[in-house]
Amino acid sequence: MPNLLCSVCRIRRSKSGGLCATHYRRWLAGEPDWNRPIDTPGRRNVAGEHNPSAILTEADVATIRRRYSDGAATQTTLADQFGVSQAEISKIVNGKAWT
């Protein structure tokens, strides 16, 4: 069976055994580090309130969890108050986000 993994990251599949779609796009765009594996520390996603697109802070998350567990607010009410979706509130109170 031929090697159908990306020659850079050795994780993602490629059609020819060359580059995966992500590394191919990075190579075409002329990125200087196109051949650096995507999962190296310098390229990880920034989590929590340090993410530039974060809406909530860690204090907000603690408040959301406390108010929901106390029964003081519903997920929909919290979502409206904090400017996020009800689905995001659900992930927070169920420990699937901001853990």
4 versus 3: which is more confidently predicted? 4
What pLDDT, in 10s, does the model give residues 29-88? Answer: 877 776 766 655 554 556 777 776 788 999 999 999 999 999 999 999 999 999 999 999
Residues in the chain: 99
Secondary structure (3-state) at 2:
coil
**Domain parsing of the chain, residue ranges:** 1-44, 48-93
- pLDDT of the residue at 13: 65
Contact 47, 54 (CB under 8 A): no
The residues that bridge with 13 in the sheet, in sequence order, are: 5
Mean pLDDT of 26-30: 78
CA 23 to chain CA centroid, nearest Å? 19
In angstroms, the CA 14 to CA 80 distance is 43
Record the tokens describing residue 90, joined without a space.
């659900």
